[in-house]
């Protein structure tokens, strides 16, 4: 999938969209007669929202290099991102030779898409539009509601209250949380059918054999600023502890000037740690990612770093301790929220899927786990910023810093073990469940 290097490199960097081309090798059996697709992510998210859609599109005859995403800084409320979006659309049409694209917008990405399609010249470049878990409008997209529009919403989404849109094709999901509307099979089947004259999508077996090809991007959390020249060290780790199998990394790779790294080949039956180091900013914290074994080729494995203090996101995340007496961890669910009374999430047997931390109206995707300074796990909310924004929360849990000890995080009968790295010298550890 392509993350757009459109609108010329420097201009895109200034307005917060990505400007790289990280396409994997194209499908050998893909159909270039299909309309190219551009996908827009939501608030505090990034293009890896669409890793499932990308995989399913490719397995339903779409060419990998005709699938596009566009990262942007959703914390920036002053920039008109329709300018970057129009440049992206123009570049797609130039690259593919297509006359139009199909567009997808999730949540805040849907707001951007509707604003873009309100201009007749811009709307003329879009064949069909899929509106996912986004704002209810009076009519289908386009200046006069003329763009064929699919509106997928969920009765269980309490982040954006959905409803049918007059003039659109409406699909209501009953159980999907806000994030799942852009990640689950039911949504994809609706989008695929809408883009392809009612054709039924095939959801493939996810077992790709012994090896998978993985690539992605290093960028800052929330603001999606690419991390150029980052060192990425990949270690095989023991399933039962998360500790490194070897002292030296199995792979040493670097991100390019746009933050893009890979592709690399990994084993499908192996747990891995990805260590991200920002070489251009040695004061930026290290981040250790622990991931489940991957079952299929993944070109959208994003590695987020903690933004520097001078940025808005960095200021908001400044509460995370930097203290070699304790470890700091985070949990990240890459394809759904954690919902109280629906999901199970524990840290060392202690439930975190509670109404206080994972209520449906919070739609918690990430939980930061750290101590308030008293050396005790009170398992209460840290409050502050994390209580004022959806998708994130923070819980008072103490981990004594010792890289030979570890904690066990279990999510819906899946398990990751994460070592206790000292948080000042070794940064933050993130357990990622795909």
325-381 confidence digits (pLDDT tens)? 999 999 999 999 999 999 999 999 999 999 999 999 999 999 999 999 899 999 999
At a CB cut-off of 8 Å and minimum separation 6, what does 282 contact?
none
Q: What is the mean pLDDT of the chain?
A: 91
pLDDT at 24: 39
Which of 206-220, 223-237, 240-254 shows the lowest per-residue confidence on average (mean pLDDT)?
A: 206-220
pLDDT at 388: 76
- pTM for this structure? 0.93
pLDDT above 90 coverage of the chain, percent: 84
pLDDT at 389: 83
Cβ contact 277:233 at 8 Å: yes
Across 174-325, where does the E strand assignment appear? 211-220, 230-237, 251-254, 260-267, 271-278, 287-291, 298-305
How would residue 2 be classed by pLDDT, with cut points 50, 70 and 90?
low
At a CB cut-off of 8 Å and minimum separation 6, what does 116 contact?
82, 85, 86, 103, 122, 123
pLDDT at 29: 80
**Short-list 207, 206, 155, 201, CA closest to 178:** 155
pLDDT at 18: 39
With the CA atoms of 390, 396, 400 and 406 taken in that order, what torsion angle do they form, in degrees rounded to the nearest 10? Answer: -50
Cβ contact 427:401 at 8 Å: no
pLDDT at 19: 40
**Short-list 240, 287, 253, 304, CA closest to 421:** 287
- pLDDT of residue 6 exceeding 80, the answer is no
Alpha-carbon gap, residue 174 to 151, rounded angstroms: 14
- pLDDT of residue 23 exceeding 60, the answer is no
- pLDDT of residue 16 exceeding 80, the answer is no
pLDDT at 207: 66
- Mean pLDDT calculated for residue range 43-54: 96
pLDDT at 311: 81
How would residue 91 be classed by pLDDT, with cut points 50, 70 and 90?
very high
- Per-residue pLDDT tens over the stretch 257-300: 999 999 999 999 999 999 999 999 888 899 999 999 998 899 99
Across 32-175, where does the E strand assignment appear? 37-40, 67-70, 101-106, 126-132, 149-154, 169-173
Looking at the chain, how many residues does it have? Answer: 434
pLDDT at 276: 98
- pLDDT of residue 310 exceeding 90, the answer is no
Q: What angle do CA 305, 403, 334 make, to 5 degrees?
A: 40
- Mean pLDDT calculated for residue range 158-172: 97
CA within 13 Å, CB half, 5 = 13
DSSP 231: E
- pLDDT of residue 49 exceeding 80, the answer is yes
Sheet of 350-351: strand order equals 350-351, 345-347, 402-411, 414-420
The tokens describing 121, both together, are 């010249």
- Mean pLDDT calculated for residue range 202-224: 89
Alpha-carbon gap, residue 352 to 358, rounded angstroms: 8
From the CB of residue 50, how many other CB atoms can be counted at a distance below 10 Å? 27
Helices (H), 149-279: 185-195
Domains of the chain, earliest start first: 2-195 (3.40.50.1820), 211-433 (2.60.40.2200)
The phi, psi pair for 87, rounded to 5°, reads -65, -40
Cβ contact 402:425 at 8 Å: no
- Per-residue pLDDT tens over the stretch 110-155: 999 999 999 999 999 999 999 999 999 999 999 999 999 999 999 9
* SS3 state at 280: coil
Alpha-carbon gap, residue 414 to 408, rounded angstroms: 10
Q: Which residue matches tokens 């299909």? A: 34
Cβ contact 306:288 at 8 Å: no
At a CB cut-off of 8 Å and minimum separation 6, what does 227 contact?
218, 219, 220, 255, 259, 276, 278, 280, 305
The phi, psi pair for 262, rounded to 5°, reads 85, -175
- pLDDT of residue 5 exceeding 80, the answer is no
**Short-list 332, 391, 394, CA closest to 363:** 391
Please say whether the dihedral angle defined by the alpha carbons of residues 215, 217, 283 and 370, taken in this order, is positive or negative: negative
How would residue 208 be classed by pLDDT, with cut points 50, 70 and 90?
low
**Short-list 285, 267, 403, 409, CA closest to 347:** 409
Cis check: omega of the bond before 56, within 30 degrees of 0? no
Cβ contact 79:15 at 8 Å: yes
């Amino acid at each position: 999938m392509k993350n757009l290097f459109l609108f010329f490199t420097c201009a895109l960097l200034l307005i917060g969209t990505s400007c790289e081309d990280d396409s994997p090798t194209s499908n050998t059996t893909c159909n270039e007669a299909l309309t190219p697709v551009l996908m827009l992510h939501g608030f505090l998210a990034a293009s890896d929202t669409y890793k499932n859609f990308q995989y399913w599109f490719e397995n339903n005859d779409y060419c990998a290099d005709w699938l596009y995403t566009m990262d942007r800084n959703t914390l920036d409320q002053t920039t008109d991102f329709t300018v970057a979006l129009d440049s992206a659309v123009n570049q797609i049409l130039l690259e593919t030779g297509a006359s139009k694209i199909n567009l997808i917008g999730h949540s805040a990405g849907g707001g951007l898409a509707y604003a873009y399609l309100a201009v007749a010249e811009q709307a003329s470049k879009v064949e069909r539009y899929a509106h996912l878990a986004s704002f209810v409008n009076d009519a289908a997209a386009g200046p006069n509601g003329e763009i064929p529009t699919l509106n997928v919403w969920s009765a269980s989404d309490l982040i954006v209250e959905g409803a049918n849109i007059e003039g659109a094709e409406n699909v209501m999901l009953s159980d999907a949380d806000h994030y799942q509307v852009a990640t689950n099979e039911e949504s994809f089947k609706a989008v695929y059918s809408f883009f392809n004259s009612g054709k039924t999508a095939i959801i493939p077996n996810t077992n790709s054999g012994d090896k998978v090809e993985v690539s992605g991007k290093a960028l800052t959390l929330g603001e999606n600023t690419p991390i150029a020249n980052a060192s990425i060290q990949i270690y095989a780790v023991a399933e039962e502890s998360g500790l490194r199998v070897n002292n030296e990394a199995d792979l040493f790779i670097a991100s390019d000037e746009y933050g893009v790294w890979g592709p690399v080949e990994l084993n499908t039956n192996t747990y891995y740690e990805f260590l991200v180091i920002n070489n251009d900013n040695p004061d930026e914290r290290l981040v250790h990612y622990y991931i489940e074994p991957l079952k299929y080729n993944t070109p959208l494995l994003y590695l987020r770093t903690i933004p520097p203090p001078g940025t808005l996101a960095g200021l908001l995340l400044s509460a995370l301790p930097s203290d070699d007496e304790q470890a700091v961890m985070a949990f990240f669910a890459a394809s759904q929220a954690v919902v109280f009374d629906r999901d199970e999430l524990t840290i060392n047997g202690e439930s975190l899927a509670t109404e206080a931390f994972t209520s449906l109206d919070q739609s918690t995707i990430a939980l930061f786990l750290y101590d308030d300074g008293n050396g005790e796990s009170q398992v209460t909310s840290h409050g502050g910023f994390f209580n004022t924004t959806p998708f994130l929360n923070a819980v008072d849990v103490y981990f004594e810093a010792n890289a030979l000890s570890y904690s066990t995080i279990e999510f819906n009968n899946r398990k990751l073990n994460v070592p206790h790295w000292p948080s000042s010298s070794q940064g933050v550890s993130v357990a990622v469940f795909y």
